[in-house]
Amino acid sequence: ASYIGNRVTLPDDINALIAFLEPDESFGPVRGLPGAVLPPGFSWSKFHTLKVEIGVSQGWGPAIQQGQAGQQGQAGQQGQQGQQGQAGRRRGTLNEKADAWRQCPGVEYVLSIHVSAGLQTREYRLDSIVNGQFENPDILHAPIDNNTVVQFDPWRLLGIPGGAFLPADFNNPVHFNLFDVVEPIIQGEQEDIALLERAAAAAAEQPPHRHQRRP
């Protein structure tokens, strides 16, 4: 969020929302995503049409009604108190973050992914945003399996008028298997967890150290 180049031109309430969206950790971007070719003279950091939020400790949370946007947009006018949200805390659930991104100019899609701490749960939801509103506000999150394919309109991804010339080799539509993107990350996390568990078990088997007193 801090790398959005036109933040100084955005209204105070939108900048206040963006401040809530700073992640605890950030990863990526994934290089070589099929069908998404970087146009000459551009960098991926210039594009803010697709936002991806991944929640582990924070899940989906309660549903957010779009009519609450006006109440949340007042955050920028309430100083530090507003920046901590109505409950005196930083917004953290996936639903809250998707709703905040919905109100940011130029954002066309929000892809939300929830992975439980034990990695048993893997879910996603792809929100399309039209005129600052969720195109399908009642869409539910769904499990990520090996047949989960997400699809995007290439003109909306690039922020150009529909029907304009697309960069060479840019797919229409852009689609990829979300399982293929998420699964390597999950496998890496599972390996890390297994290593920690083995290290903890080995430490538990070690006899306690005895300290001898010198005469």
Is the omega angle on the peptide bond into residue 208 within 30 degrees of 0, that is, cis? Answer: no
3-state helix, strand, coil in the chain (%, to 5): 35, 15, 50
Give residue-wise pLDDT tens across range 148-163. Answer: 999 999 999 888 888 8
Question: What type of residue is 156?
Answer: R
What pLDDT score was predicted for residue 78?
38
pTM of the predicted model, to two decimals? 0.69
- How far, in Å, CA of 79 to CA of 76, rounded? 6
Could you tell me how far CA 101 lies from the centroid of its own chain? 10
Sign of CA dihedral 137, 70, 95, 107: positive
| pLDDT bucket at 95, cuts 50 / 70 / 90 | very high
| pLDDT bucket at 112, cuts 50 / 70 / 90 | very high
Give residue-wise pLDDT tens across range 116-135. Answer: 876 678 899 999 999 999 99
